[in-house]
Amino acid sequence: MAFKDPLTIAGVTLDSRLLLGTAGYPSPALLSEAIEASGSQLLTLGLKRTVQSGDNGFVELALQTARARGAHLLPNTAGCHTASEAVQLACMARELYGTAWVKLEVIGDAHTLQPDPFELLEAARSLVNLGFTVLPYCTEDLVLCRRLLDAGCAVLMPWGAPIGSGQGLLNLPGLRTLRERLPEATLIIDAGLGAPSQAAQALELGFDAVLLNSAVSQARNPAAMAGAFAEAVRAGRAAFRAGLMAPQDFARASTPVSGHAFLLGEAAR
């Protein structure tokens, strides 16, 4: 039996725990199909890359699709390397799209696309003071995450693996610790997922949602893959709510026989 299990971010209720990016699709039509199949109600939009590529068709489609389905847009500051650059871009996005929500990205390493913790925290503080609802892309570093929450961030979005790598959840102990130490925070795995099973694993660990892009946009059939991720997210969340059994160091018979009478072989006749 299906259950209602909405996700609430800054007073906005979402029925879907799958957030979807809108970059890298072969065509606007395939993007539209993937959004529909995913059931996502929060779509990210990379303003800087869109402006640089001049691909306004994808932007307009994302806007139209989001509004038609009652979904929300989440502009991001992808491609920014300093706090000042990210703040400027976020302010531009607020003017263009009429939303104060921003996925904050401040990249510190061009090879791994790992966020710069110092610039990220500075940008987060500035944007919160400017009235933004800030969802920062970060690592699983517990101290940084606490500082971001103290700065007023509505959500934390730690990576599973480097952006676009499809490697899944590389640091399971670190992610488990983050979830355990920040039990009240809304935590969304962002970046590095490549398969629906990895999304299910994130929800099973107790993370509140996942955000992905390349795993769907680069699939042979983006719409079918988006649907598969949607089912995996629902399954992972249901498993977490049901309560996973605790791992055991040794085998434990699922049907114990000690202490019960039973018959063997010919003696049973």
Q: What is the pLDDT of residue 13?
A: 93
What residues are labeled active site?
Answer: 103
Write the CATH number for 211.
3.20.20.70
264 domain residue, yes or no: no
- All residues at 6 or more sequence positions from 42 whose CB lies less than 8 Å from its CB, including other chains: 9, 14, 16, 19, 20, 71, 72, 73, 74
Whole-prediction pTM: 0.89
Q: What is the pLDDT of residue 77?
A: 95
3 domain residue, yes or no: no
At 21, phi and psi to the nearest 5? Answer: -85, 165
Q: What is the pLDDT of residue 66?
A: 75
Greater confidence (262 vs 11) lies with 11
pLDDT at 248 over 50: yes
Say how many domains are in the chain: 1
Q: What is the pLDDT of residue 127?
A: 98
Domain that holds residue 233: 8-247
Report residue 218 as tokens.
């680069």
Report residue 96 as tokens.
């263009």
252 domain residue, yes or no: no
Q: Which ranges constitute the DSSP H helices of the chain?
A: 28-38, 47-53, 56-68, 83-97, 117-129, 142-150, 172-181, 196-204, 214-217, 222-242
pLDDT at 117 over 90: yes
Q: How far apart are CA 269 and CA 256, in angstroms?
A: 23
pLDDT tens-place string over residues 45-91: 887 765 555 556 666 777 777 778 788 999 999 999 999 999 999 99
Q: How far apart are CA 90 and CA 68, in angstroms?
A: 24
41 domain residue, yes or no: yes
147 domain residue, yes or no: yes
Greater confidence (185 vs 258) lies with 185
123 domain residue, yes or no: yes
Q: How far apart are CA 191 and CA 143, in angstroms?
A: 20
Q: Tokens 């649907």 sit at which residue?
A: 227
At 209, phi and psi to the nearest 5? Answer: -170, 175
97 domain residue, yes or no: yes
pLDDT at 184 over 80: yes
